[in-house]
Amino acid sequence: MPVHTLPIHDDGTFNFLPPTSSVPHETVPHEDTISSAASLDNEMSSDAPPVSDSSPVSTSAQPIPPIRSVRSRQPPSYLKHYHCPTLPHVANLVQSDSKLLVAFVVLALASSFASASDPSPLQDFCVAIDDYKNGVFVNGKFCQDPKLATPDNFFFSGFNIPRNTSNPVGSTVTPVSVDQIPGLNTLGLFLARTDYAPYGQNPPHNHPRASEIIFVQEGTLYVGFVTSNPDNKLFTKILNKGDVFVFPFGLIHFQFNIGKTNAVSFSALSSQNPGVTTIANAVFGSNPPINPDVLARAFQLDQNVVKSLQAKFWWDNN
């Protein structure tokens, strides 16, 4: 009986993918196809009754069921570069991706709580004005119409003039904030000049909304800051002319002129409105006064000593 096979190319291969497929055709040897066809032919021959020599032989071909092409068990070559992960591998990938996602979410949440002292401006500048009827409220101040801004809105003069230091603390701070330069509004900057009499000081204080960097122009200063609870560690340094020191954000710090001559320093702070809290003034000079029992217990002092301290005039050098 004739054997029905697939069309075979001259090189002994045949196409097993439809010609219309978008995937490149893959050719494989046809031995499996031929053996399958031969096996089917043998089965059909064994089922047929034996033919005797005297029986007439039909010259017409018997119909043979169509034989489907047999695909190779090896993956086509165009799949060799594709990785098919096993189930455990997929589970590991999902687990590692989950850990990465959790870490990313934690970092995102942490960064959402970390912010600068002042919000970043959303415009070129915002000249502060007091007339709310003709301005837009932004970041603590009303903004002037930018078309009305002038160079004087970004200018201050007089930083070269020494200030009077004849006061109980022996120092005077000259600030240049948004109140002196309206154009500083939303820019996150503050500048200050401090004049010191011999042995004068800028008493222990802090800036609740800014860090500070100080530059000594004249004299010799003993400076320092104290870390937060529970360590309360003191960091100090003696600064001479041309030296620079940094006071971290919000920490209590001080400057003391240890020289026999006047001293001058300039400070830059990281906020247009850093604020200042002089510790002695806030504790013993509050308005109204703090209950003496509270301070006596807090400072482990006699009540009479506390009342004496509260009765003093606490000088503000700012």
pLDDT (tens digit per residue) in 238-258: 999 999 999 999 999 999 999
CA distances (Å), origin 119, targets 37, 122, 209, 229: 81, 9, 12, 28
Closest CA to 184 of 132, 140, 131, 246: 140
Residue 202 assigned to a binding site: yes
Residue 207 assigned to a binding site: yes
What CATH number is given for 155-311 in this structure?
A: 2.60.120.10
63 Cβ partners below 8 Å, 6+ apart?
none
What pTM was estimated for this model as a whole? 0.60
pLDDT (tens digit per residue) in 154-168: 999 999 999 999 999
Query: Lowest-pLDDT range, 34-43, 185-194, 244-253?
Result: 34-43
Per-residue pLDDT band for 23 (boundaries 50, 70, 90) equals very low
Contact 223, 201 (CB under 8 A): no
Per-residue pLDDT band for 17 (boundaries 50, 70, 90) equals low
Residue 81 assigned to a binding site: no
H helical segments located in the chain: 31-47, 87-113, 279-284, 292-299, 303-311
Q: What is the mean pLDDT of the chain?
A: 77
Decide if pLDDT at 264 tops 90: yes
DSSP for 87-115 reads: HHHHHHHHHHHHHHHHHHHHHHHHHHH--
Of residues 124 and 83, the one with the higher pLDDT is 124
CA distances (Å), origin 263, targets 7, 123, 192, 211, 276: 103, 39, 14, 22, 21
* Rg of the chain over all Cα atoms, to the nearest angstrom: 45
Decide if pLDDT at 41 tops 60: no
| Per-domain residue ranges of the chain | 1-47+59-89, 155-311
Residue 253 assigned to a binding site: yes
Q: Return the structure tokens found at 85.
A: 């992960």
Residue 4 assigned to a binding site: no
pLDDT (tens digit per residue) in 191-209: 999 999 999 999 999 999 9
